[in-house]
Amino acid sequence: MKFWIAMGVLAAAAIGLALSPVNEYFFYAAYVVLTYVVLATAWNILGGYAGYVNFGTPAFFGIGAYAAVVLMRWLHAPLALQIAAAALMGGLLGFGVGMLTLRLRGIFFAIATVAVIFIMETLMINWRYVGGATGLQLIRPDVMAPFASYTRMLFVVMALMAIAAVAIARYIQDSWIGRGLRAVRDSEEAAEANGVPTLRLKLLACTVMGALMAAAGAPMPMYLSFIEPASTFNLSYTVGALGSAIIGGMSHWLGPIVGALLLGSLQQIITVTISGEVNVLVVGVLLVLFVVLAPQGLLGLFKRWLPFSR
């Protein structure tokens, strides 16, 4: 119950912020950070809870973005419908990749997710309808009442999506599904021997992950007023999602949030003050440091320093 009250407060705060005279740049930056909250939370459902590493975040994110573009061009669909369609496509992709490779060892799944990025990118590069390699310009309304700008509206949308993603992750974590996934992660063989339908649970986690990641990608084309394959299928989404979850902590839904907020903010600062490449390097180094030294992430470190634990 406390959770829902907190979420309600956050939602109200987001709307309130969007209606306030805060600097426009804040919403541009916050949108990106919130996107990473959704991506990291989604990643963690399969990566943290079940122990299967997905390198293919850009593929799911990208299929969502392009699904949104297709719906926009074809049906002039409103954003809500675009997001729904994106989630559907992302879920299907997750299910498909899962069916293909979740029976095999984790590394095969991981490599398959890399393959999907490339294949999706190649398909989009060769599809004129969505702009091909050069991309597509998109026109979006300047204003979206009651908000002063379209960006503010997107910020609120992404905030609500983040809340939804976290709620879903929390539900999965605390339910019998979560226990089954944890059993799969701890010892897949023992889980199977103890009645856990391992493949089905993995597929469920993979499908949910795919749907959420794609949903996060849907508003992106409108955010940029532009879509093109290279930046959409950018590998920095991989590092961002994976890194946020690992740095924040993989065993609890709070971890990806903490990680994404930290990494997202850090990234904004470094990119603006030093350079985009150094920023990426820093994220990579942090990822390796945490994987080696603090595998339980910031949450894990926190637990060790606090006298009590959850």
Partner 1 sequence: MAPLLKVTKVSKHFGGFTALNGVSLEIAEGERFGLIGPNGSGKTTLINCIAGALRNESGQIVFQGREVSGLPAYQRTRLGIARSFQIPRPFHTMTVLENLLVPTAYVVHLKDTEGEAEAMAILKAMGLADKAHTPASQLSQVELRKLELARAMAARPRLLISDEAMAGLAGAEVDEVLRILFDLNEKGITIIMIEHIMQAVMRFSQRVVCLDAGAIICEGAPAAIVQDPNVQRAYLGA
Partner 2 sequence: MIFSFDLLFEAILFGILLGCFYAAVSIGLSVSFGLLDVPHVAHPAIMVFGSYCTYIVASHGLDPILSGVVLMPAFFVLGVLIYRFYYETFERRGADAAVRGLAFFFGLAFIIEVGLILGFGVDQRTVQAPYIGSSLALGDYRIPYRMLVAFGVALVLTFALTLYLSKTFTGRAIKAVAQDEPALRLMGANPVRIKQWAFGIATGVSALAGAMLIIIGPVEPALDRVYIGRTFCVVVLAGLGSMTGTLAAGLILGIAESIVLMLFGASWAPAVAFGLLLIVLGIRPQGLFGR
Binding site for partner 2 (CB under 8 A): 47, 51, 53, 55, 100-101, 104, 106-108, 110-112, 114-116, 118-119, 122, 125-126, 133, 185, 235, 238-239, 242, 246, 250, 277-278, 280-281, 284-285, 287-288, 291-292, 295
Kindly list the distances between the CA atom of residue 135 and the CA atoms of 118, 121, 141, 302, in Å, as whole numbers in the listed order.
17, 12, 20, 44
Q: What span, in angstroms and rounded, lies between the C-alpha atoms of 304 and 294?
A: 11
Look up residue 211 and give its amino acid: A
Binders of partner 1 in range 183-202 (CB under 8 A): 183, 185-187, 189-199
Tokens of 289: 């440091």
Tokens of 88: 């559907």
Residue 20 or 187: which CB sits closer to partner 2? Answer: 187
Tokens of 152: 């503010």
Residue 1 or 292: which CB sits closer to partner 2? Answer: 292
Q: Find which of partner 2, partner 1, none residue 242 binds, CB within 5 to 8 Å per kind.
A: partner 2
Is residue 115 involved in binding partner 1 (CB under 8 A)?
no
Binders of partner 1 in range 157-186 (CB under 8 A): 176, 179-180, 182-183, 185-186
Of 68, 5, 65, 70, which is closest to residue 39 (Cα–Cα)? 65
Strand 136-137 to strand 226-227: parallel, antiparallel, or no bridges (unpaired)? Answer: antiparallel
- Tell me the DSSP string of 2-28: HHHHHHHHHHHHHHHHHHTT--HHHHH
Residue 152 or 202: which CB sits closer to partner 1? Answer: 202
The residues of the shown chain that bind partner 1, judged by CB under 8 A, are: 176, 179-180, 182-183, 185-187, 189-199, 251
